């Protein structure tokens, strides 16, 4: 696929097989555990032998995501399966890993419960820094923009520093998506992400992936996935590939809605702690405006306490209470209810694809009522 094409064209055509008369644009999902084998040559005669490592529907999706990220891809059953698989495939007892102190809470919980238990030294660093020396570090994991606080890390600068010390750099690209940011082009060694969210965007599947330009890293991740079996089903892979065709359109509307709501919230004195890296007044704007290809459709703010958040959601007709983000419908999540170390009134709001004027009017009325 040519890099001269725009995001919309690339998203529509990513990973599709060559046109063939009488065949669909995207072949339907292949459901199989075992496949027929050649009785003489065995698995050497075909790319498909057994459904855990082999599935043509999964390979088409991996080709598509790989084209968008600019590397080779392996998909997993969820974003958490992808990131924990990456960590366990690369880290050994005695290794040191640096993780975002303000990143996705289940990853931090996994690190303290599992990685430290097998002898991996775990350090936590705020996404915006300051960062310590990378000497003796095996892996630096960045999450940018961070979920849920939306701070941004300077990927090129940190990649240079980490590589100079012999460390690998992984970037969680969930919030940005490959249309918003291409970490491999910014110097990262590997990308990991949840495809459950904005990438597929229909709130109807779980998916994760790892992408890299390193054959060595890809082999390690592939071997881990084959051994542990954390593969997505073929129908989820087909749904995800189908959904990629509209990602440019969806993200465009979500970003526009996020900007409209950010400007609304910035003008209200009953809302504090507003974060959206697309605002010129945001602490992350200087880095995000250079590094990111487009801003996310997610913003965060604080309404003071849990009761006010509940009143806001009760009063809204368009903002649904739900966890996760990146879907077609605007949702809000009070992260503290999940045990995340955020303030009681902290809200992560994910913009859907509703009309901006309707969304602004609804959020204004709901905040007034709350």
Q: Which of 149, 174, 95, 151 is nearest to 341 (CA)?
A: 149
Q: What is the mean pLDDT of residues 104-119?
A: 95
Q: What is the mean pLDDT of residues 197-214?
A: 98
Q: Which of 324, 201, 340, 348 is nearest to 265 (CA)?
A: 348
**What's the mean per-residue pLDDT of the chain?**
97
pLDDT in tens, 39-67: 999 999 999 999 999 999 999 999 999 99
Q: Tell me how far apart the alpha carbons of residues 44 and 342 are, in angstroms, rounded to a whole number.
A: 53
pLDDT at 1 over 70: no
- Number of neighbours of residue 118 by Cβ within 10 angstroms: 11
What per-residue confidence (pLDDT) applies to 4?
86
pLDDT in tens, 276-316: 999 999 999 999 999 999 999 999 999 999 999 999 999 99
Model pTM?
0.96
Residue-level length of the chain: 370
Q: Tell me how far apart the alpha carbons of residues 52 and 5 are, in angstroms, rounded to a whole number.
A: 34
Q: Could you say which DSSP state residue 46 is in? A: -
pLDDT confidence bin for 3, thresholds 50/70/90: confident
Q: Where in the chain is the domain with CATH 3.90.1150.10?
A: 248-369
pLDDT at 2 over 70: no
Q: What percent of the chain stands above pLDDT 90?
A: 98
Phi, psi of 176, deg, nearest 5: -75, -40
Q: Where in the chain is the domain with CATH 3.40.640.10?
A: 7-244
3-state secondary structure of 160: helix
CATH of span 248-369: 3.90.1150.10
**Which CATH number, 3.20.20.100, 2.40.10.220, 3.40.640.10, 2.40.70.10, labels domain 7-244?**
3.40.640.10
Q: At what angle do helices 356-369 and 306-315 cross, to 10 degrees?
A: 130
What per-residue confidence (pLDDT) applies to 146?
97
Q: Tell me how far apart the alpha carbons of residues 347 and 333 are, in angstroms, rounded to a whole number.
A: 6
What per-residue confidence (pLDDT) applies to 47?
94
CB of 221 within 8 A of CB of 191? no
Q: What is the mean pLDDT of residues 230-241?
A: 98
Phi, psi of 81, deg, nearest 5: -65, -35
CB of 211 within 8 A of CB of 190? yes
């Amino acid at each position: 696929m040519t890099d001269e094409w725009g995001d919309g064209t690339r998203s529509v055509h990513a990973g599709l097989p060559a046109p063939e008369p009488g065949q669909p644009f995207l072949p339907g999902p292949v459901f199989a555990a075992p496949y027929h084998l050649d009785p003489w040559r065995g698995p050497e005669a075909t790319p498909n032998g057994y459904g855990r490592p082999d599935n043509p529907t999964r390979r088409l999706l991996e080709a598509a995501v790989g084209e968008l990220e600019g590397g080779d891809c392996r998909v997993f059953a969820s974003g958490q399966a992808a990131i924990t698989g990456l960590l366990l495939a690369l880290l050994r007892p005695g290794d040191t890993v640096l993780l975002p102190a303000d990143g996705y809470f289940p990853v931090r919980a996994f690190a303290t419960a599992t990685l430290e238990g097998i002898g991996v030294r775990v350090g936590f660093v705020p996404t915006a820094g300051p960062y310590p020396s990378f000497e003796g570090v095996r892996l630096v994991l960045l999450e940018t923009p961070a979920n849920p606080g939306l701070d941004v890390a300077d990927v090129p600068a940190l990649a240079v520093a980490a590589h100079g010390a012999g460390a690998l750099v992984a970037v969680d690209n969930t919030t940005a998506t490959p249309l918003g940011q291409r970490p491999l082009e910014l110097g990262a060694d590997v990308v990991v992400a949840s495809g459950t969210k904005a990438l597929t965007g229909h709130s109807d599947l779980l998916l994760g992936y790892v992408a890299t330009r390193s054959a060595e890293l890809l082999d390690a991740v592939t071997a881990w996935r084959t051994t542990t079996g954390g593969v997505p089903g073929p129908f989820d892979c087909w749904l995800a590939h189908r959904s990629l065709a509209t990602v440019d359109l969806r993200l465009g509307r979500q970003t526009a809605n996020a900007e409209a709501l950010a400007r609304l919230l910035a003008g209200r004195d009953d809302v504090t702690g507003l974060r959206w890296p697309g605002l010129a007044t945001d602490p992350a704007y200087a880095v995000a405006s250079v590094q990111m290809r487009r801003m996310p459709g997610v913003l965060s703010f604080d309404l003071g306490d849990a009761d006010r958040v509940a009143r806001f959601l009760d009063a809204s007709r368009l903002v649904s209470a739900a966890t996760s983000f990146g879907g077609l419908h605007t949702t809000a999540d009070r992260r503290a209810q999940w045990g995340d170390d955020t303030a009681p009134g902290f809200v992560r709001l994910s913009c859907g694809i509703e009309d901006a004027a309707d969304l602004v009017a609804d959020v204004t009325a709901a905040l007034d009522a709350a």
